[in-house]
Amino acid sequence: MPTGPGRYDQECAALRERCKARAALVMVLGGELGDGFSVQAPLSVQLQLPALLRRMADDIERTIQSGGHRGSGH
């Protein structure tokens, strides 16, 4: 995982704080600053991210293959 602030770090921080969350992950496609992502999470959560993202990808693939659609997210 890249080190240092992500392209959308300010937005990620604002979301994490607004949600009173321990961690946040923001991915932006086609944004004003281009594609990018930012993660704000303690190391214990960062270590779990690869497995979480794999499960999410599997879920997205199953949804697409079954003809389902998720408009604004899960």
Q: For residue range 1-46, list pLDDT tens digits in order.
A: 467 787 899 999 999 999 999 999 999 999 999 999 999 999 999 9
**CA-based nearest residue to 25, from 3, 1, 41:** 41
Residue at 3 is within a domain:
no
Handedness of CA 55, 34, 41, 72 (dihedral sign): negative
Q: Tell me what pLDDT residue 5 has.
A: 80
Residue at 4 is within a domain:
no
Q: Tell me what pLDDT residue 71 has.
A: 62
pLDDT for 74 beyond 60: no
Is the pTM here over 0.85, yes or no? Answer: no
Residue at 1 is within a domain:
no
Q: Which domain holds residue 32?
A: 9-65
- Domain total of the chain: 1
Residue at 28 is within a domain:
yes
Residue at 21 is within a domain:
yes
> What helix, strand, coil percent values describe the chain, rounded to 5?
40, 20, 40
Tokens representing 10 are 């300010």
Q: Tell me what pLDDT residue 72 has.
A: 57
Q: Tell me what pLDDT residue 42 has.
A: 96
